[in-house]
Amino acid sequence: MFLPAPGTPLPWLWASLIGIGVGAGFPLGLTVIAWRTPTPARSAAVSGFGLGIGYFAAGIGPLVMGLLIDLGGFPPAIVLLVAAAGLQAAAVWRIGDRRE
């Protein structure tokens, strides 16, 4: 479905893009929280909430991905990663919008 033939360089491209997105997600999330909250106390509260959700997702993520790969192969896992990246991009776009 989404997977290229073995021996093509595309898996390295996709793995690199996923790595860049994952690597940028955590600091971007912290920056957006600090940027959008008016006081340090509010920043701490929102950060604690966001980190709780993030660490829950990080804890359950390997299990979910392993189950997806075992049950359906790599395409469903890749679709989930792309959907999560889209959700993250939409959230940052919405939260980062300073027009009110």
Q: Look at residue 1 and tell me if it is in a domain.
A: no
In the chain, what percentage of residues exceed pLDDT 90? Answer: 14
Q: Look at residue 71 and tell me if it is in a domain.
A: yes
Structural domain for 62, as ranges: 18-96
Mean pLDDT, rounded, for 55-72: 92
pTM exceeds 0.85 = no
Closest of 12, 32, 11 to residue 88, by C-alpha: 32
Tokens of 81: 């990663």
Per-residue exposure over 26-63, b if at least 16 CB sit within 10 Å of its own CB, e if not: eeebeebbeeeeeeeeebeebbeeeeeeeeeeeeeeee
Q: Look at residue 6 and tell me if it is in a domain.
A: no
Per residue in 23-62, pLDDT (tens digit) is 777 788 788 888 888 888 998 888 888 888 888 988 999 9
Q: Which DSSP helix (H) or strand (E) runs through 84?
A: helix 74-96
Given this model, what pLDDT does residue 29 score?
Answer: 78
